[in-house]
Structure 1
Amino acid sequence: MISTLWTWLYWMWVASEVVIAAVTRTRRSSGNVRDRGSMLLLWIVIVASITACEWIRYTIPATMFGRAHWLQAAALIALMAGLAIRWTAIFTLGKSFSANVAIRESQKVHRTGLYRFVRHPSYLGLLLVFLAVGLHARNWISLVLAVVPTTLALFYRIHIEETALREAFGEEYVAYSRETKRLLPGVF
């Protein structure tokens, strides 16, 4: 049952990311795209991480607690939490959400919903999804390959995004940054 639910949710997530990227991508011709290659980098890292993670999973025997069902349950919980956080964050931003870094004229600094607790909840959700992918593989190498490159790519993306937001909103965003952590409430 866990395996079937995992498979459905995993492929739902993959499909949702493709749809979100296609629907919310701001055209470069609009002049307000400040992505600096971070979206392309993120997609490359995501595809490479998942590919490497799955390859390792099937070529190196499980090295993390064997076939522990509790680990599969933990992976499923992390996946569901990650999806819920990511989709809620995207829904909260509505038309302000863009797959690439772009500031729209009507955009404002969001401080409602999950944005009260962290500045980048959609990235927190994505990190939880990749933690889930690594745990699901039941392999320490896969866990590292799923989490570390994605985290590094997201840190670059956050840097680019926050630079654009500070330029667009000035002191309002700086004040929000002082009050609200990036990814983990009260921590980071």
Structure 2
Amino acid sequence: MGDPPKFMNLLEYSICQYSIYFLLLSEFIIRLFTSSRFTAKREGKPSDSDRGTIWLITLGFCSSIWVSYYFRSRGFIEDLRNLLLPHIFYYIGILLIIGGIFVRDILVWTLKRSFTFYVQTTDNQHLIKTGFYKYIRNPAYLGSIMSLMGIAFSLRSVFAPVAVLIICMICYGIRIKIEERALKIQFEGEFDEYCKHSYRLFPLIW
């Protein structure tokens, strides 16, 4: 994945690649432990309201990584490929990748058995409103977006961060609206009250 000429030296190349491998490993482990084999033990009758958005966010995740590399590849117009952000954005990107991984992992662990990749609720499910969830209703998604933006920044293309942000806002935005619709049906007034004191994704913005 990638090649050393995109970076200032081999050390920067290695750090970036291992950070991305860490991200992919983290996602694999989360998916493994939230697969039907493990979630089958949940109590209560499940209500599936996913509407295929699991594939939408998977597409958004994969395409964001692809786009970040494409803008630095030889397949992109050379003059535009050489338009780069200042070198400091490499370090910002690495911090965002690692920070996003830890944010997502911590939030998935907070939800434990309540976390699923599909939009799904159960009869005995409780609305989590502590920790990060007190302020942000979808912080695990925020962690993913942080990491994806981090990849774009670390490769330093001026186009990648904009493209990745657009992809994420479309894919995760649709997912969040469908997910919140299911939660509103499940928790009714409790969820409405929760929404009055929290943000969907970005504090003070949305």
**TM-score normalised by L of structure 2:** 0.82
Match of 1:87 in 2: 105
Shift of 1:26: 5.0
**2:117 corresponds to:** 99
Q: Aligned residue for 2:73?
A: 58
Which of residues 21, 28, 33 is equivalent to 1:11? 21
Aligned to 1:117: 135
Match of residue 134, structure 1, among 125, 128, 152:
152
Give me the identity figure in percent. Answer: 23
List gaps (5 residues or longer) in structure 1.
none
Unaligned stretches of 5+ residues in structure 2: 1-10
**Matched letter for residue 23 of structure 1:** F
Give the helix-richer structure, 1 or 2: 1
The AA in structure 1 aligned to 2:170 is: L
Say whether residues 1:78 and 2:78 are aligned partners.
no
SS of match in other structure, 1:103: strand
Report the count of equivalent residues: 185
Displacement after TM superposition at 1:101 (Å): 0.6
Would the aligned equivalents of 1:137 and 1:143 in 2 still touch at CA under 8 Å? Answer: no
The residue number in structure 1 matching 2:170 is 152
Sort the Cα spacing of 1:179 and 1:81 in 2 relative to 1 into closer, same or farther, 3 A: same
Amino acid at match of 2:63: A
Report if the CA contact (8 A) 1:130-1:146 is conserved.
Answer: yes
Q: Choose 131-140 or 92-101, whichever is displaced more.
A: 131-140
> Do residues 38 (structure 1) and 53 (structure 2) align?
yes
Give the superposition deviation at 1:24.
1.2
Q: Deviations over 1:126-146 (max 9, x none)?
A: 111111111112112222232
Q: Which residue of 2 aligns with 1:20?
A: 30
Please report the RMSD computed on the Cα atoms of aligned residues, expressed in angstroms.
2.0
- Whichever of the two has the greater Rg, that structure is 2
Cα-to-partner distance string for 1:160-180 (whole Å, 9 max, x where unaligned) = 100000000110111001111
